[in-house]
Amino acid sequence: MLPLTEKKIALTIKEMESGLGRIRDLSISIGKLSAADWTEPEGPTPYPSLTALRTWDRTLLSRYQPFYMPFCDLCCLCTYGKCDLTGTKKGACGITMPAQQSRTVLLSACIGAATHTSHARELVTYAIKKAGRDCPINPGGNAIGVEAPIIRLVCGEKPEILADLETVLDYCESQITALLAVTHTGQEGDPLDFESKVLHAGMIDHVGMEVADLAQISALGYPKADPDAPLVALGMGTVDTTKPVILVIGHNVPPSVAIIDYLHNENLSDHVEVTGICCTSIDATRYSPRAKIIGPMSWQLRYIRSGIPDVIVVDEQCIRTDALAEAEAIHAPFIATSEKNCLGLPDRTNDTADAIVTDLVGGKLAGVLILDPEKAGEVAVRVARTVAPARKNVRASTDPATIREQVTACTQCRLCQRACPNDLKIPQGMKAAGAGELSLLAGLYETCVGCGRCEQACTKKIPVHSLIVAAAAERIKNEKFVIRTGRGAIQDIEIRNVGGPIVLGEIPGVIGFVGCANYANGGKEVAEMSVEFAKRRYIVCTSGCTAMSIGMYRDEEGKTPYEQFPGSFSAGGIVNVGSCVANAHIAGATIKIASVFARRNLRGNYAEIADYVHNRVGAVGVAWGAMSQKAAAIAAGFWRLGIPVVVGPHGTKYRRMLLGRADHDADWYVHDQRTGEDVYAGPAPEHLFVAAETKEEAMVLVAKLCMRPNDTTRGRAMKLTHYIDLSQRNLGTIPDDIPRYVRTTADIPVTLKGEITRILAQSDWKERPIPDPTLLSRDKPSPPKER
């Protein structure tokens, strides 16, 4: 066997006799992707190592310096500890507080990147099994020329078939392993080096996400970059409870696909409801629009406790770890399907479906582990159909009298409120409910994120969460909405279409609402924000649980945002790209802009393209209620591209922000490629990662962060209009940093000329040129090729 130090080898045989015949001038390459005819020149950093982009990272981090907010003052990762790191104290290994914070951020980003990459690996293996190694990668047919912008950019590869994605994943896995090693005691000690590696983890995460979604779009026939992807049912009220109901929870779609396929093959599609929570449900609806989405992850307890699901199937990620116990409480058989989430269940993968069905139906087992999606699909359907008739009788809702009876035990000790991550006024609700007034308790439903910590805190064992849900029964019945299912990538053609409107100032920016809206009122607030920006003709992109939250609100005519606004990547569109892994398409769209408009080479050319995106593409991410490590990794991937991300107030628990200093003029100079001079371009964008206290503050921030040094005067005037208008409406004031964003008088919005001219006159404002901006020095030779 040839020792392979690298997976890629190329072998050339001049002449050889073999069993097959005489071979002459044969060249063989292994592990190399199939696009032999890709002529784009390779940039300096294909498959970048941990340090290949360190210079670019430091450029960003010198502008946007980490501001640490220790969530915990101790380090307890090794047995030297616990070490107190407050003040200037160092740990036993020598680590400082800033380094420890960034180390924790890196750990978090590694967990996130590993989760997406592992998910991607499973999907690619599954997709190859289903559609073959040679199944072409096809995210959007003729409308898409750049099929995998992130993979092209990072890896310098142009994947054409599913098998090509395996090589890309090999790279991701090697990087995540190395990144994780960096967090070991006694490795990296410098906070900025940790931060650079956080950015690396984020970039790898985006590659992993792109692989995952390309694989499932290509193999499973999802909508392909389709602005008119179907509208599908959303909400607990849409479930036909007279039929057997299956609930799928998680992110990895194969078991859901198997359920849908089995139903289809057995002609049962009309007779069983397939419902889902979290991203796996979005992907199920991308596979079959008949599937129904219940809601974001915070709907797990409330939906399971409603008793509606007859069978619960879980795959991976963001699943409550007590889901099995919750299922047992409603006597719903439970099927785990992921080797990453076995929940202590017996592995029945190798048993016959008949045997497993018998054991689950007969109550011999509360749950099983089945690591074969097809078998799990068959078992889920058969068990649901068998147990449903008897279970329909046990689905009892809690009536008002029962609620009153249960709350009488409440001693008003307030421990529930203290345990609540959102400090909800549960005791008041309980008190009023005791007096027969349920509205306060029911009102908590909207703001509750469904964590159940209140119940853990209650010394009287009152099922607090269940009571809140019961009090809101009427509201739940009306949870009948629609969501446009995940359309996948953004078409190259759509990007061309918006080029004109962007430079002519008709589209002020692109905003991505991503992650979960797992924050008190978070769902309502992301819905309101997305509608506000869509009305203002921004392009609004969304994905995952946030996409669901946006669908759960209606206008005065009763229309959801998906019915009010088009699904196209255009002014005023609300674009649901899909599940969490589909976030790659939002980043991908910003990368494609560099290729589509400037014809910049993407291939292994990360720093140049990130510099282009950072200085020219007015995109902002908003993760209003993000809670997970995946969200940390996704955000980091955007940061490395220079795209700012805004989080809600509890986003500060991510331990550090990346904040620019608008008052440091020297930080905001860019190189003007047109003149070769360094010019002040204003703090655009001002921050890379920043938390907002309120929705109002967030909207003003987002409008501001859409500004870029290259804005045309019409574009800047429009961006300033919205920034000022949102600030006046939401904060009651004209922002005090306007002079930093006005470059010439043509930047001034026409309707605000008087006021702004006055403001400029009072400051030491001077007209300045609009640069062709870059943060890279063009005079420096490009760095050596990295392998």
Give, as ranges, the residues between 726 and 765 that touch other proteins (CB under 8 A).
744, 746, 749-755
Say how far apart CA 336 and CA 201 lie, in whole Å: 29
Residue 357 or 593 having the CB closest to other proteins: 593
Q: Does 597 bind other proteins (CB under 8 A)?
A: yes
Nearest approach in angstroms of CB 67 to other proteins is: 31
Contact with other proteins (CB under 8 A): which of 721, 727, 742, 775?
721
We find the least distance from the C-beta atom of residue 139 to other proteins, in angstroms, to be 12
The least CB distance from residue 599 to other proteins, in Å, is 2
Among 3, 6, 27, 666, binds other proteins (CB under 8 A): 27
Among 94, 145, 346, 400, binds other proteins (CB under 8 A): 145
**Using CA atoms, how far apart are residues 583 and 449, in angstroms rounded to an integer?**
23
CB 653 within 8 A of CB 421: no
Determine, following the binding rule CB under 8 A, whether residue 326 of this chain makes contact with other proteins.
no
Strands 539-543 and 645-647: unpaired
66 exposure class (CB count in 10 Å sphere: 0-12, 13-18, 19+): buried
Residues 102/107/108/114 CA torsion (nearest 10 deg)? 140
401 or 750: whose CB is closer to other proteins? 750
Options 260, 471, 495, 691; binder of other proteins; rule CB under 8 A? 495
Sheet containing 619-623: give its strands across: 65-68, 656-659, 689-691, 645-647, 619-623, 510-513, 539-543, 574-578
Residue among 5, 6, 14, 36 that touches other proteins (CB under 8 A): 36
Segment 654 to 713, residues that bind other proteins, using CB under 8 A? 673-674, 710-713
Closer residue to other proteins (CB): 23 or 390 = 23
Nearer to other proteins, 617 or 691 (CB): 617
Which of 180, 366, 457, 493 touches other proteins (CB under 8 A)?
493
Task: Give every CB contact of residue 375 below 8 A, 6+ residues apart in sequence.
Answer: 258, 349, 353, 356
CA distance 619 to 637: 13
- Measured torsion, CA atoms of residues 291, 295, 301, 303, in degrees rounded to the nearest 10: -50
**Distance in angstroms (rounded) separating the CA atoms of residues 166 and 120:** 9
By beta-carbon proximity to other proteins, the closer residue of 72 and 746 is 746
Range in contact with other proteins (rule: CB under 8 A) among 10-18, 280-288, 321-329, 365-373: 10-18
Cα distance between residue 54 and residue 61, in whole Å: 10
Dist CA 134 CA 151 (whole Å): 18
273 or 672: CB nearest other proteins: 672
Applying CB under 8 A, which of residues 3, 5, 22, 758 lies at the interface with other proteins?
22
C-beta of residue 425 within 8 angstroms of C-beta of residue 417: yes
Cα of first residue to Cα of last residue in the chain, in angstroms, is 24
Among 139, 429, 625, 715, binds other proteins (CB under 8 A): 715
Query: Considering beta carbons, is residue 4 or 409 the nearer one to other proteins?
Result: 4
**Considering beta carbons, is residue 24 or 766 the nearer one to other proteins?**
24
| SS3 at position 512 | strand
What would you measure as the largest C-alpha separation in the chain, in angstroms? 93
Residue 3 in contact with other proteins, rule: CB under 8 A: no
Does 600 sit near other proteins (CB under 8 A)?
yes
Interacting positions 533-592 with other proteins (CB under 8 A): 535-537, 572
Among 725, 730, 760, 765, binds other proteins (CB under 8 A): 725
DSSP 197-233: HHHHHHHHHHHHHHHHHHHHHHHHT---S-TTPPEEE
CB of 284 to other proteins, least distance (A): 28
Q: Can you state the angle between helices 54-63 and 606-616, rounded to 10 degrees?
A: 20
Q: Is 138 in the site for other proteins (CB under 8 A)?
A: no
Distance CA 702, CA 693 (A): 13
Looking at the Cβ atoms of 2 and 401, the one nearer to other proteins is 2
> Taking CB under 8 A as the rule, does residue 240 contact other proteins?
no
Smallest distance, other proteins to C-beta of residue 684, A: 13
Minimum Å distance from CB 156 to other proteins? Answer: 17
17 vs 764, which CB is nearer to other proteins?
Answer: 17
**Total residues interacting with other proteins, rule: CB under 8 A:** 72
Stretch that binds other proteins, among 137-145, 213-221, 363-371, 684-692 (CB under 8 A): 137-145
Nearest of 301, 198, 167 to residue 638 by alpha carbon:
198
Three-state SS at 773: strand
We find the least distance from the C-beta atom of residue 145 to other proteins, in angstroms, to be 4
| 722 contacts other proteins (rule: CB under 8 A) | yes
| Minimum CB distance to other proteins smaller for 21 or for 87 | 21
